[in-house]
Chain A
Amino acid sequence: MSSQPILDPSSKLDRFPIEVRDAFRRFRATGEPADLQMVVLAVLRDHMPKRSSVPLTEEMRLMEDLGYDSLAVAEIIFFFEDLFQVRIENRELPELRTVGEVGRFVARKLGQKPAAA
């Protein structure tokens, strides 16, 4: 078995492109909001049940536009919890409907100002 309970959060991104892993490293070092948004978008794209190369835009809805189901939403919640070492409560889930809402939510959780779109 190659994967174990998460010790180093960055290992969650092992299978992501190098530029995403670099952005995560830079974000952890500098708190740069644009780097955080790059990571969030990559995670959202990775969890889309059907593969697509369509660019993700702020107003896209996870379920209606990106094909997310409730399990895929739960997957990204747990992914973000592990990656950013934060806790997301069930009552916060209704805030996560669109790509933009997810980006702003994660930034707020981490005490960031949202990046410009």
Chain B
Amino acid sequence: MNAPAAAARRAVVTGLGFITPIGNERAAVVASLRAGQHGLAPVVFYGNPDLPVKVAGTVKGFRVESASWRDWEWPPGYEIPRETLRGLAPHGVYALCALAQALRDAALSPADIAGDETTGLFCASAGSAMLTFHHLAQTLAVRGERGNPMGVVSSIAGTLNFNLAAHFHITGGVCGFVSACASGSHALGYACDEIRLGRLQRVLVVSAEELNAETLVPFAIMRALSPAADPRLASRPFDCNRDGFVGAGGAVAIVLEESGAAARRGARVQAEIAGWGQAADGYSVATPHPEGAGLRLAMRRALADAGTTPADIDYVNAHATSTPVGDRAEALALRAVFADAGARPRVSSTKALTGHPLSLSGAMEAAFCVLALTEGFMPGNPHLITPDPACAGLELPRACVDAAPRAVLNNSSGFGGSNVCHVLRAPAP
């Protein structure tokens, strides 16, 4: 990540697309982040209202509950031909819409990227547990004699890369990332490197997650979800009474370009990914290191890669999902990196508003950071009532702060103690 040859090339964001619980386009997302308006809604899975999962960050304007694509509906303005649809999972529909939106935002047409050997596609997805279950159940019912020929490409973890690469005719390079809740951040980080190393001029980063029983109920079984029915109480990162995360779905797409290439085509540069870093806990399969050791190191590496100090960071978009153990570990790591260095950036977790969309979260929150930089605000912690004492020394504004950050840090942590951080800053004038 610190290769000297990379120094001259910078990775900049030129397009964003949003299909999220708090809005399906940029202006709606900005409005929700500024107002502290959540996108959580009541849910019942498996027809069982007794399950300890009552609310989720739902995706509006889509009907993708069925295992058959013939039943699906999506908002107007997106064209999805049958030859693409038949290979998609529900979160692939979100992803295709988000990418179409991001390309428009970047003033790129599908023809601009089709067959362009300098454009790559990096995706983050955990696959579709719903479709895997459905297809295998069908095949089991006929003792393996037949099934859906599109079953594999629509359900396994690479489903986003397979389908979007074929649909948009991507030839520069295509791959996928699977590190649970750090997946989207890994995709963005490695996309940044690919550009800084001069291998690609442009990378489309697409991250998506499904919201259905097959994805979410297993987390209730782990006792990782909040059982609360009131959205404001269910997702309240850093609060001392938090009791688990709230699941969510959606997709975000980010168009990342080499700054020189973006300038040559007259693209509007929205932010620079100034650096990134990763480190691991080496501690547990499912819980973070109690003091956030891996996250602490990942933050320091990201700051060093970006050539920034803790004092340069005005806002941190925390990973904090509203779980008792995870938020505490992150708070301690943030204190070690910032408070101990005398720095007090504003810190918030936008998962209070969106819920936690797992593989999507890192890329979604990086895109929120771009919005904070371009629109001049720092999201607050609207559901925070009583901060956990572990947060002592951290600046946790309740309301949105109406001021432009110079540089921001985005944190992500996933199962197995995988931690990834990005530093983003406003484009050089």
Partners in one complex: yes
With A and B bound together, what is the CA distance between A82 and B147 in angstroms? 10
In the complex the two chains form, is A78's CB within 8 Å of B148's CB? yes
Stretch from B66-74, B279-287, B362-370 forming part of the interface with A? B66-74
| Contacting residues, chain B, for A71 (C-beta < 8 A) | 86, 149-150
B150 engages A1 (CB within 8 Å): no
Does A91 sit at the interface, judged by CB under 8 A?
Answer: no
* Interchain nearest-CB distance for B16 vs A (Å): 30
Chain A residues near B86 (CB-CB < 8 A): 49, 71-72, 75
In the complex, which of the residues B65, B81, B82, B145 has the most CB atoms of chain A within 10 Å of its own CB atom? B82
Contacts of B148 in A (CB 8 A): 75, 78
Give the residue among A48, A78, A87 with the most B Cβ atoms within 10 A.
Answer: A78
A67 to B65 alpha-carbon distance, docked (Å): 29
Is there an interface contact between A1 and B138, defined as CB atoms closer than 8 Å?
Answer: no
Residues of A within 8 A of B81 (CB): 49-51
Min CB gap B216→A, angstroms: 13
Given A5-B141, A50-B83, CB of A74 within 8 Å of CB of B149: yes
B134 at the interface (CB under 8 A from A): yes
Docked Cα-Cα span, A47 to B326, in Å, equals 47
A53 contacts chain B at the CB level, 8 A cutoff? no
Flag if A15 contacts B149 (CB, 8 Å).
no
Contact of B134 among A1, A51, A78 (CB under 8 A): A1
Do the beta carbons of B82 and A51 come within 8 Å of each other? Answer: yes
Which residues of chain A are near B147, meaning CB under 8 Å? Answer: 78
Is B137 in contact with chain A by the CB < 8 A criterion? yes
Task: Verify if A30 is at the interface (C-beta below 8 Å from B).
Answer: no
A74 to B68, CA, bound (A): 16
CB distance from A71 to the nearest CB of B (A): 5
Contact yes or no, A81 B146, CB < 8 A: yes
Listed residue (B71, B130, B133) with the most chain A CB atoms within 10 angstroms of its CB: B71
Contacts of A1 on B, CB cut-off 8 Å? 65-67, 130, 133-134, 212-214
B127-146 vs A, CB cutoff 8 Å, 1 = contact: the mask equals 00010011001101110011
Within 8 A of B (CB), among A70-107: 71-72, 74-75, 78, 81-82, 87
C-alpha gap A78/B139 in the complex (Å): 11
With both beta carbons as reference points, the residue of chain B lying nearest to A81 in the complex is identified as B146
Q: Which residue of B lies closest to A69 (CB)?
A: B83
- Do the beta carbons of B149 and A50 come within 8 Å of each other? no
Residues in A with CB closer than 8 Å to B68 are: 2-3, 15
A75 contacts B150, CB within 8 Å? yes
Are A49 and B146 interface neighbours, CB within 8 A?
no
Given contacts A4-B137, A5-B137, A78-B148, whether A49 and B130 have CB atoms under 8 Å apart is no
Closest to A78 in B: B146
Give the residues in chain A near B145, CB-CB below 8 Å. Answer: 87
Q: How far is the CB of A17 from chain B (nearest CB, A)?
A: 13
Residues of B within 8 A of A49 (CB): 81-83, 86
Contact between A50 and B82, CB atoms less than 8 A apart: yes
Residues from chain B with Cβ under 8 Å of A3 in the complex: 66-68, 71, 134
Contacts of A5 in B (CB 8 A): 137-138, 140-142
Residues in B166-222 with C-beta less than 8 Å from chain A = 212-214
Nearest residue (CB) in A for B212 is A1
* Closest A residue by C-beta to B81: A50
Q: From the candidates B71, B83, B141, B149, name the one contacting A2 in the complex (CB within 8 A).
A: B71
A3-B134, A49-B81 known; A15-B71 Cβ under 8 A: yes
Cβ contacts B244-259/A at 8 Å (1 or 0 each): 0000000000000000
State in angstroms the CA–CA spacing of A113 and B336 once bound together.
81
Give 20 CB contacts A-B under 8 Å. Answer: A1-B65, A1-B67, A1-B134, A1-B212, A2-B66, A2-B67, A3-B66, A3-B68, A3-B71, A5-B140, A15-B68, A15-B70, A50-B83, A69-B83, A71-B86, A72-B83, A75-B148, A75-B149, A81-B146, A82-B146
Known: A1-B134, A3-B134, A87-B145. 5 other contacts (CB 8 A): A1-B65, A1-B212, A3-B71, A15-B70, A71-B149
Chain B residues with a Cβ under 8 A of chain A: 65-68, 70-71, 81-83, 86, 130, 133-134, 137-138, 140-142, 145-150, 212-214
